[in-house]
Each structure stands twice: as C-alpha cells, then as structure tokens.
Amino acid sequence: MTTTAPRPRRSALYMPGSKARALIKARSLPADVLLLDLEDAVAMAEKERAREALATALLEGGYAPREVVIRVNGAGTPWHAEDLTMAARVAAAGGADAVLLPKVESAAMLEETAEALTAAGAPADLALWAMIETPRGILAVAEIAAHPRLACLVLGTNDLLADLRAAFTADRAALLPHLIASVLAARAHGLGVLDGVYNAFKDDEGLRAECEQGLALGMDGKTLIHPAQLGVANAVFAPSAAEVETARRQLTAFEAAEARGEGVAVVDGKIVENLHAASARRVIAVADAIAALEATSTT
C-alpha cells in the first residue's frame, strides 16, 4: 500500500501583486506556496494596475515548482469580477494553480466564484482556496469545506481576532477553538489547511513557537508576510530526519508482521498497529515530496 502525500505547503508567502520587484524575487524564493495578492496588500488606487502587472508576470512564468495562488478581491468589491476574469485567463495558460477567495462565509460564495471562473474560461480543475477569517466563516466552516472545488482552507487570524474583539496572546487562547474547528473541517473533507500569519517578522523565536503550535494542532503549514520567515516555517513543518527514520522502521516492522499473518509489531518498545503504519507512510511520503520539490527548485 502506498500513501499519496499532499503537495508540500509548509510555507505560503503573501506577496503584493503591485510590486514588480517582489514578483521577480518570488521566482527564486524557497516558498512552497506563493500567495500573490490583489486584496489587502494592494492600495485601492493600485488595484487595476496590480491586476495587469500580476497577469503579465504569471504569463511570463518562472514560478514552478512553487504552487501559485492568486488572492482576488472579495465578492461585492468593484474589482472582484475582473480579478476572476484575469485569474481564469492566467490559469488557462498554465500560470496559476488556484484562486484564493477572501472572507468566505458560505459554500454559496464558493459556488458563485466557481461559476464565474468557468464562464471566464478557467480550467475545470482550477482549485479554489478559502480564507476563513470571520465569525460567520468559522460557523460555516464545515459547509465551506464540503465544496467539491475547494482544495485548501487558509486562516486569516488577524481579521478574525479583530472581529471577535479578542486580544492576541502568545498562546493564542482566543483563537484555539477556531483553529481546531478549521483543522477538523479540512481533515473531514481531505483538504489542506494553513495557519494564519505571525506579524513580528523579525522575531524568529516567536514565529517558531507559533509554527510548532500550528503543527501540533494539525496544520499543514504557515502563511507568512516576509521572506525572512520562510526558513523557520519550512523547517518546522517538515518531518525531521529522526521522524522519517522512525517511520521507516515502524513500516518495515509492521509489513514484516503482516507477512507473518500478524496484525501488530513492536518498535522501540511501542506497539505498531495499522493506524501507526498509515501515519508512518504519510511521514515518509511527505518527506519524499519535500525532497522532490527542493530538488526541482534548485535545478
């Protein structure tokens, strides 16, 4: 039995679609995901120009093997429809992997987006990603996660904290129920799920602590606001060499036990059953996928 690992999403870096230098730099950054932004990172006066600049850069290419995601302006804004038209055009030419919709609060919002993209000529398999960043989004996260075009949930923790009128604390106590609910919804429907940003981009210790907390909660990776944060996120969300070695020994022992007609093995004094073998396969598959991605990035 083999396990297909999801695409590595340890690090998902927001970059403004309005900044030519940032779009050039993005082609060489060690990010697993590029969240190329037309929303929060772009001033209202720059929206039109940013859209065309981003389209031009993506059609020129050079971003592979990074996963390229376009964050459009939200439904109800003056720029939403044209953003989707541009995203459809770029995706049809192979320049984008997904569209990220902000402030998703229902599956109907995703369906309207999918229909608009299809009408604009987007590939039928163009994935949708959903920002979960409002109380209504949290309350509807299970419904949202069930949409067939959805591939990933992205937590917008800054907006969520503001809407909750909650305080930020190092342990993120006010956010924990909502983070857990989002992970649960993602896992129930086979989706990726990415943690919110850490604002203090020069504080590696704080970033590492928050990444480790997100990993412990079940997140696949961390959204980031600065390239300096990439190294920490990539390290934390990758299986360590020791974890991979343990996984390989567990899998070898379990498969040997199965061959003997037994359902249980013992490794390092601990029982290894089918669920542990499945986890071991996933660890190995994730490590292999990261190695392949990094090898492609350096060629």
Q: What is the mean pLDDT of each run of 10 residues along the chain (299 residues)?
A: 68 96 96 98 96 97 96 97 98 98 98 98 97 98 98 98 97 98 98 97 97 98 98 97 96 95 94 95 94 82
Task: State the pLDDT at residue 295.
Answer: 87
Task: State the pLDDT at residue 45.
Answer: 96
Mutual orientation of helices 80-92 and 47-60 as an angle, nearest 10°? Answer: 10
Q: CA-CA distance, 280 to 251, in Å (whole number)?
A: 6
Q: What's the pTM?
A: 0.94
Residue 87: name the closest of 119, 131, 134 by CA. Answer: 119
Q: What is the DSSP letter of 38?
A: S
- Cβ–Cβ < 8 Å for 230, 19: no
Peptide bond preceding 65: is omega within 30 degrees of 0, i.e. cis?
yes
Q: Which residues, at least 6 apart from 100, have a Cβ–Cβ distance to it below 8 Å?
A: 35, 69, 70, 71, 72, 128, 129, 130, 131, 154
Backbone φ and ψ of 104, nearest 5°: -75, 130
What does the radius of gyration of the chain's CA atoms come to, in whole angstroms?
20
Mutual orientation of helices 241-259 and 274-297 as an angle, nearest 10°? Answer: 130
Per-residue CA distances from 56 to 79, 95, 131 (Å):
18, 10, 25
Distance of CA 299 to the CA centre of its chain: 24
Q: CA-CA distance, 119 to 84, in Å (whole number)?
A: 10
**Token pair for residue 58?**
């993506």
- Cβ–Cβ < 8 Å for 255, 278: no
The C-alpha angle 87, 57, 51, rounded to 5 degrees, equals: 45
Task: State whether residue 66 is helix, strand or coil.
Answer: coil
Task: State the pLDDT at residue 4.
Answer: 52
Per-residue CA distances from 262 to 70, 199, 270, 274 (Å):
49, 51, 16, 11
Q: Which residues, at least 6 apart from 278, have a Cβ–Cβ distance to it below 8 Å?
A: 3
- Cβ–Cβ < 8 Å for 149, 114: yes
Task: State the pLDDT at residue 1.
Answer: 37
